[in-house]
Amino acid sequence: MAVGLPENIFITRLDAAANWARSNSLWPMPFATACCGIELMATAASRHDLARFGAEVMRFSPRQCDLLIVAGRVVMKMLPVLQRIWLQMPEPKWCISMGACACSGGVFDTYAVVQGVDRFIPVDMYVPGCPPRPEQLLAAVIDMQEKVRRTGTIMGREFVSRDTSTGPSPFDLQEQYRIEDSRLVQLGGFSAAATSTAEGDA
Amino acid sequence: MVSLAELQAQFGSGIAERTFRDNRFIDVPAEQLLNVLSALKTQFSFNMLIDITAVDWLDYEGATDRFSVVYLLLNVDSGERITVRAAVNLPDPALPSVCSLWMGADWMEREVYDMFGISFTDHPDLRRILMPEEFSAFPLRKDYPLKGRGERHNFPVITRSEG
Ligand code: SF4
C-alpha cells in the first residue's frame, strides 16, 4: 500500500464501524406476553444459543436495550405499556414482531386483542409462525444484523425519514367488512372519527 | 340433603327445581334470592360459595328472561352441591350482593358486573375487575359484537422518527 499503514491499522467509515459493533451486540428487550415467549426463552437457552450471535443479553429494563422482541399477543390493556416501553428504549433501536399474534392478532380476532402491533409501533422484522421455531427467530436476528449493517448510521440518520407509519391503519374499511355482526352498525358503536374514515374510503 | 319441599314451605311456591343427571338447580325469584341463599348457608350448611356467574339468554329459544345469575354452592361436610339461579332483566339488572354471606363473593360479583353489567346492591366495592376503568361496554352480553366497538383501535400510532 502506498500509504504504508502498519499491519494492525485499517481504514473504514465511521458508520460501518458503528454498525459492525451494534449488529454483533444487540441487546433484546423480551416483551413476552404469551406462548411465543416460551419459544423466545428456548432460543436463548443452550440448545439454540442466541449468544452465538451476540444477542444473549436480555435486559428487563427497556433503557438498556436496543432490540424489542414482541413475543405473543398484545391486548388492548397492554398496548399503552408496549408503546411506553418502545419510547423508553434509547436510540438506535429496532423491533422484531414474533409470531402470528404479534404480527396480525393471529386467531384472536376479539374485542380485546390488538390486530398486529405494527398498527401502533414501528416494526422492522416479522417472524411468522405459531409459535415460530427458535431457528426462525435466529434467522430474524441474523437478518436484523444484516439490516443494521446495511442501513445503520452512527447518528441514527436513517430513522429520520421514517415519519409515516408503515403498518396497516388502526382502523381500515376491510376490517369493518370482516365484522359480520350487523348489530354493530345498528348500535352505532363506532367512534365518529373511525366512521368518517370508513366513508371517506368508500 | 336439602329438599325442595322444605324450601317451598319457607319461601313459597315461586321456587322451582330442575335436575340434570345428578346436578340440582333451583330457580329463585330475585326478591327472595338473599333470603334463600342465607337459609341455604345457615340451615343447610352450604358453607362454600364456589362461583358466581351469569348467562345471557338473548335470542335463546323459549327463554323468558334476559339474564340468569348463577350461584354454585357446596356443602363442604357432606359434599352436596347445589346451583341457584335468579333471573334479572334490562333496563336495570340488579341483585342483592351476597358478600355479607360469603366474603369470597366480592370479586365474583365484580366479574359478573364487569362482563354482563349486572349490578349488586350493597356490594362494598363494585368496580370493573378485568376491563380497564374507561371501558364502557359489557363484553359478555350477547349483543356486544365479538370484534368490539372500536376499542382496540383508539390508540396513538407511533412512527419510527418520533420514537
Ligand atoms: S403466535 Fe401462537 S404461539 Fe405465538 S403467542 Fe400467538 S398463539 Fe401463542
Give the type of residue at A9.
I
Predicted ipTM of the assembly: 0.73
Number of domains within chain A: 2
Tell me whether strands B48-56 and B16-20 are parallel, antiparallel or unpaired: unpaired
Give the 3-state DSSP-derived string for chain B, with helices as H, strands as E and coil as C: CCCHHHHHHHHCCCCEEEEECCEEEEEECHHHHHHHHHHHHHCCCCCEEEEEEEEECCCCCCCCCCEEEEEEEECCCCCCEEEEEEEECCCCCEEECCCCCCCCHHHHHHHHHHHHCCEEECCCCCCCCCCCCCCCCCCCCCCCCCCCCCHHHCCCCCCCCCC
For cell 432460543, name the residue: A43
Q: Do A111 and B160 touch (CB under 8 A)?
A: no
Q: Quick check: A161 contacting B, CB < 8 Å?
A: yes
pLDDT of residue A6: 82
**At B68, phi and psi to the nearest 5?**
-120, 135
Q: Which helix (H) or strand (E) holds A40?
A: helix A36-44
pLDDT tens for chain B, 163 residues long, are 777 888 888 888 888 888 888 899 999 999 889 999 999 999 888 999 999 999 999 888 888 899 999 999 999 999 999 999 999 998 889 999 999 999 999 999 999 999 999 999 999 999 999 888 888 889 999 888 887 777 888 888 888 887 7
Residue A3 lies in a domain: no
Residues A30 and A104 in one domain: yes
Q: Quick check: A165 contacting B, CB < 8 Å?
A: yes
Please give the DSSP secondary-structure letter assigned to residue A132: P
pLDDT of residue A50: 92
- Structural domain containing residue B43: 4-154
Distance CA A31, CA A101 (A): 13
Q: Report, as ranges of residue numbers, the positions in chain A whose pLDDT lies below 50.
A: 182-183, 190-202
The CB density around residue A90, as the number of other CB atoms within 10 Å, is 10
**At A113, phi and psi to the nearest 5?**
-105, 130
Residues A66 and A82 in one domain: yes
Instruction: Specify the pTM.
Output: 0.76
Exposure of B70 in the CB half-sphere (CA atoms within 13 A) = 14
pLDDT of residue A28: 94
Residues A140 and A187 in one domain: no
Residues A145 and A186 in one domain: no
Residues A26 and A96 in one domain: yes
Distance from CA of B5 to the nearest CA of A (A): 45
Residue A7 lies in a domain: no
CATH number at residue B15: 3.30.460.80
The residue whose C-alpha atom lies closest to atom 6 belonging to ligand 1 is A101
Sign of torsion over alpha carbons A184, A187, A193, A199: positive
Residues A142 and A197 in one domain: no
Residue A2 lies in a domain: no
Residues A52 and A23 in one domain: yes
pLDDT of residue A176: 58
Distances (CA, A) of A18 to A90, A120, A155, B161: 16, 29, 9, 20
For cell 363442604, name the residue: B76
pLDDT of residue A200: 41
Distances (CA, A) of B162 to A127, B84, B155: 24, 56, 15
Give the best residue of A63, A76, A84 to mutate against chain B (max B CB count within 10 A): A76
Distance CA A63, CA A4 (A): 43
A-B CB pairs within 8 A amount to: 94
CATH number at residue A64: 3.40.50.12280
Number of domains within chain B: 1
Distances (CA, A) of A16 to A95, A165, B111, B113: 21, 27, 56, 59
pLDDT of residue A198: 43
For residue A116 and ligand 1, the question of a CB distance below 6 A is answered with no
Residues A155 and A184 in one domain: no
For cell 340468569, name the residue: B68
- Structural domain containing residue A190: 171-202
Residue A4 lies in a domain: no
Distance CA A184, CA A61 (A): 41
Q: Which residues of A36-55 are buried (b: 16+ CB within 10 A; e: fewer)?
A: bbebbebbbeeebebeebbb
Residues A178 and A90 in one domain: no
